[in-house]
Amino acid sequence: MLIKEITLAGEINDVVVRRTERGALIITNDVEIEVERRGEREERWGTARNMAAVVYGTGRRGNPNASSSMIHEILQLIERVAEC
């Protein structure tokens, strides 16, 4: 199945993950981040962690209010849209 776009409804703002020719474009809070499908997995993990902060909010120290398994789910969505 080919997924072209996914929208995550977050506590703070929505996050849109849209397929591009090189990977995926992540749009939230008027910020656009390009994730390349041939890029490093650690880079995609960092992007997923930042998305988790928008979707689930942040704690006292500014870390996402999400477990690593929740961040991993977001990473899987990014990779599914980008066809990694």
At 30-47, the pLDDT tens digits run: 788 899 988 888 999 999
The pLDDT score that the predictor gives to residue 56 is 87
Place of tokens 């066809």: 83
| pLDDT value at 69 more than 90 | yes
What is the number of structural domains in the chain? 1
The pLDDT score that the predictor gives to residue 71 is 92
Q: Mean pLDDT for the chain?
A: 88
The pLDDT score that the predictor gives to residue 39 is 86
The structure's pTM equals: 0.84
The pLDDT score that the predictor gives to residue 72 is 94
Task: Give the residue numbers spanning the domain of 62.
Answer: 5-82
